[in-house]
């Protein structure tokens, strides 16, 4: 596989590009409680300090991976974060193991990093990124 033409962007840059201009208040981007329902295999629920609760399924979060590679792949197809790449209709659906994280680890105080069961682990989901993500299934 050729890596020519891949634009390397820093996590900060990718985040800036994905994020609208408006600065969110710190209570909106500070989690009070983070639930990663690894055992149940369902998803992530974050209760923010401002009282809002956000929920996403693992599959959705995986498709919203903020790393440069996933970001570019979505850009190329015009997909929004969380939207899976459409499967060609003519092909039989491929079996895919349900997406779930093998590990979810905090990155400093600002982000969460998932090690997905498909081997991917380069996405760092900052609280700010997560708060701005639409909720999804």
> Quick check: 123 binds Zn ion (CB under 5 A)?
yes
Tell whether residue 65 is a contact of Zn ion (CB under 5 A): yes
Q: In a 10 Å sphere around its CB, with 0-12 CB exposed, 13-18 middle and 19+ buried, how is residue 58 labelled? A: buried
Using the rule CB under 5 A, give the single segment among 38-46, 48-56, 86-94, 115-123 that binds Zn ion.
115-123
Rounded CA gap, 60 and 21, in Å?
24
Residue 70 engages Zn ion in binding (rule: CB under 5 A): yes
Shorter beta-carbon distance to Zn ion: residue 7 or 92: 7
How big is the CA angle at 67 (ends 63 and 71), to the nearest 5 degrees?
60
Distance CA 29, CA 15 (A): 14
* Residue placing its CB nearer to Zn ion in the complex, 65 or 112: 65
Q: Is-contact 115 101, C-beta < 8 A?
A: yes
Contacts of 111-114 with C-beta under 8 Å, sequence gap 24+, read: 112/34, 112/36, 112/44, 114/61, 114/62
- Judged by CB under 5 A, the chain residues 76 through 95 that form the site for Zn ion are none
**Nearest approach, Cβ of residue 19 and Zn ion (Å):** 17
Q: Is there binding between residue 67 and Zn ion (CB under 5 A)?
A: yes
Quick check: 68 binds Zn ion (CB under 5 A)? Answer: no
> Looking at beta carbons only, is 82 or 123 nearer to Zn ion?
123
Tell me which residues touch Zn ion (CB under 5 A): 65, 67, 70, 123
């Amino acid at each position: 596989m050729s890596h020519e033409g891949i634009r390397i962007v820093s996590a900060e840059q990718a985040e800036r590009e994905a994020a609208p201009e408006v600065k969110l208040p710190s209570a909106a981007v500070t989690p009070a409680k983070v639930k990663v329902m690894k055992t149940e295999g369902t998803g992530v629920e974050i209760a923010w300090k401002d009282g809002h609760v956000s929920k996403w399924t693992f599959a959705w979060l995986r498709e919203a991976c903020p790393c440069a590679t996933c970001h570019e792949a979505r850009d190329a197809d015009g997909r929004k974060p969380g939207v899976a790449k459409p499967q060609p209709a003519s092909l039989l659906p491929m079996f895919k193991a349900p997406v779930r994280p093998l590990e979810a680890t905090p990155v400093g105080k600002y982000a969460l990093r998932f090690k997905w069961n498909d081997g991917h682990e380069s996405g760092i989901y900052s609280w700010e990124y997560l708060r701005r993500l639409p909720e999804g299934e």
